[in-house]
Amino acid sequence: MSDLLQLVFSGLAQGAVYGLIALGFVAIFAVREIVNLAQGEYAALAGLSAISAVTAGVPLLPAVVLVVPMVVMVAVLIERLCIAPIRKMTPLLSIILTLGISTALKAIMLLIWGPQARGLPAFPGRDIVLAGVSIRSQELWILGISAVVGAAVVWAYEHTLLGKAMRACAEQPVAARLVGISPRMATMIAFGVAGFVGAVAGLVGSPIYFSSWDYGLGLGLKGFVAATLGGLVSLRVALFGGLLLGVLENLVAGYIDTGYRDAVAFLVLLLVLLVRPQGLVLKASAARV
Amino acid sequence: MAGLQVQGLEAGYDRLQVLHGIDVDVAPGELVAVIGANGAGKSTLLRAVSGLLRPRAGRVLLNGEDITTASAERIAARGLAHVPENRLVFPSLTVDDNLSLGGWTRRKDGHRAERRRQVLELFPRLADRICLPAGALSGGEQQMLAMARALMAGPSVMVLDEPSLGLAPRVVGEIITTLGRLRDDQNLAVLLVEQNVRAAFRVADRVLVMDRGRVVAEGTPDQLADDERVRAAYLGGGSTSSGSVDRPAAEARPAKATATP
């Protein structure tokens, strides 16, 4: 029993990181039909940058706080340079384009930081044992920060006028322009949000899951799978999909074989695509006219 | 020079030229209707005016300001509201949110509540459905919402693309009556593209007939109703989709129409 609880709990922590990455996918896809395959790279970039800062003598907290806006700026800059100039964006084009961006970012990170995986020092706190489950303080940090950031992003998209304006761009791009909402602005902000959640995921996860130049690829795929559970448009389902995926992976790794861990995500993706390609949860009113 | 002036407008898609030099003037407090067969270029005219389509030649002036090459977002901010074909409300957002987004360009001027009150007075049916997602409304209600959303920007010029499309005759009458009120009470310059010719004739001060990208006839509804060609093409027996806005229509038409040259 405590084995199960242990696996579930550490799965939740891992899943929270997936959930944040999934949120990044949806943050963009809910505004423009762009699948941003560079989403995982923001996490790798944030982790590696913070490690360099800490190694250079910057205390952990300022390092983390400085890296987040830096990654947001990188994400926005890439959007300005590579996404904004495309006049007729299609989902397929966006996949090819962002795969290229992802590859370029990975190459740059490999050149700067080398092939070695490293981790940030753990955030302050003590590990505890609760009901036979050993809980690392970093896992609590992951869950706490992911919950706050996730809730903030969901709230901003669902309850602020700006968030509604951005969703309007996805639902009715023509009508959005006619009421004066600039799709260019909305896309730029969406990429900023994606960079933000990606950076947070990379930073909180780094002490346990490490950061490396190629960390983003696997992480991005897991996040993408979690996001497809909500049809790439539901922020809430993306978050919970991440948690679910993390727990499933851990259970498979614990009870069957660690080697099958990475197969879980693809199995889930396959199932979603075969059974409900529109996402597990579908709002009837969201039908596009 | 207030209102909307379109001068020698040419526009099209890729190699297809749709508009071959269109001239339209709409003054404040005037409602000009554009009728014509499918493919005459009516929707393209509105798209070129509101910036969804970049014109190839000619000029568009909004309250005297040249907006020919401005983006749709900027033109909306300058006070031209385009109520698009098929309404295009934001389906998953509530009626209230749709209205709020309609006022997007004026979101900082502090008069949102006041405009919202006015708009709901004009379309009381929306007030009852204020918390529903727009996708759950009927076609007529969605059309009202699309118009209300456009009005939330406090426009001086409003262009509408087939507001009667697919609506029950009674609802068409309601919408046409509201358009007349907007013109008379708010001094709005209205450019109305309409397939429902009888409905358009009922409210319009002037009517343009378009055919293959050109204006082929122009005049007051009375003048055009006497024109043999227009009668044959657009007012003939069973050719219009709605015989409903019939006799009462002619009576309801404002007297000022005859004063227009």
Query: Which residues have C-beta within 8 Å of that of residue B235, sequence separation ≥ 6?
Result: B197, B198, B201, B225
Q: Compute the distance between CA of residue B29 and CA of residue A148 in angstroms, rounded to an integer.
A: 53
Number of domains in chain B: 2
Taking a C-beta distance cutoff of 8 angstroms, is the pair A212, A117 a contact? yes
* Helix (H/G/I), strand (E/B), else coil: A238: helix
Q: What percent of chain A shows pLDDT beyond 90?
A: 75
Q: Based on the domain organization, do B124 and B164 belong to the same domain?
A: no
Residue B100 lies in a domain: yes
Query: Which of B154, B187, B209 is the endpoint of a domain?
Result: B154
pLDDT at A279: 65
Query: Across chain A, which distance is largest between two alpha carbons, in Å?
Result: 59
Helix or strand holding residue B75 (H, E): helix B72-77
Residue A82 lies in a domain: yes
pLDDT digits (tens, 9 = 90+) for A184-193: 899 999 999 9
Q: Based on the domain organization, do B64 and B118 belong to the same domain?
A: no
pLDDT at B223 over 50: yes
Q: What percent of chain B shows pLDDT beyond 70?
A: 90
- Provide the pLDDT confidence category of residue A229 given band limits of 50, 70 and 90: confident
Sign, CA torsion A201/A207/A211/A217: negative
Residue A33 lies in a domain: yes
- Provide the pLDDT confidence category of residue B26 given band limits of 50, 70 and 90: very high
Q: Which residues pair with B51 in a beta bridge?
A: none
Average pLDDT over residues A280-286: 47
Domain that holds residue A39: 13-224
Average pLDDT over residues B106-117: 90
Mutation choice for B interface testing from A172, A179, A236 by most B CBs within 10 A:
A179
- Provide the pLDDT confidence category of residue A230 given band limits of 50, 70 and 90: confident
pTM for this model (two decimals): 0.85
Sign, CA torsion B75/B81/B87/B90: positive
What DSSP letter does each residue of A75-128 carry, written as one string? Answer: HHHHIIIIITT-SS--HHHHHHHHHHHHHHHHHHHHHHH-S--B-PPPPS---E
Q: Which residue, among A209, A121, A143, has the nearest Cα to A9 in the 3D structure?
A: A143
CB-CB under 8 Å, B102 with A161: no
Q: Based on the domain organization, do B103 and B65 belong to the same domain?
A: no
Q: Compute the distance between CA of residue A271 and CA of residue A280 in angstroms, rounded to an integer.
A: 10
**Token pair recorded at residue B69:** 């090459």
Instruction: Quote the strand ranges of chain A, DSSP E.
Output: 128-130, 133-135
Domain that holds residue B70: 4-79+158-259
Query: Which of B109, B129, B154 is the endpoint of a domain?
Result: B154
CB-CB under 8 Å, A285 with B136: yes
CB-CB under 8 Å, B93 with A164: yes
Residue A255 lies in a domain: no
pLDDT at B128 over 50: yes
Q: Based on the domain organization, do B168 and B234 belong to the same domain?
A: yes
Query: Which of B102, B124, B154 is the endpoint of a domain?
Result: B154
pLDDT at B238 over 50: no
Residue A190 lies in a domain: yes
Q: Based on the domain organization, do B75 and B170 belong to the same domain?
A: yes
A286 touches chain B (CB under 8 A): yes
ipTM: 0.86
Nearest to B73 among A172, A182, A283 (CB): A182
Alpha-carbon distance B194 to nearest alpha carbon in chain A (angstroms): 19
Number of domains in chain A: 1
CB-CB under 8 Å, B90 with A178: no
- Provide the pLDDT confidence category of residue B241 given band limits of 50, 70 and 90: very low
Residue B84 lies in a domain: no
CB-CB under 8 Å, A171 with B91: yes
pLDDT at A188: 95
Mutation choice for B interface testing from A178, A236, A285 by most B CBs within 10 A:
A178
Nearest to B101 among A164, A182, A283 (CB): A164
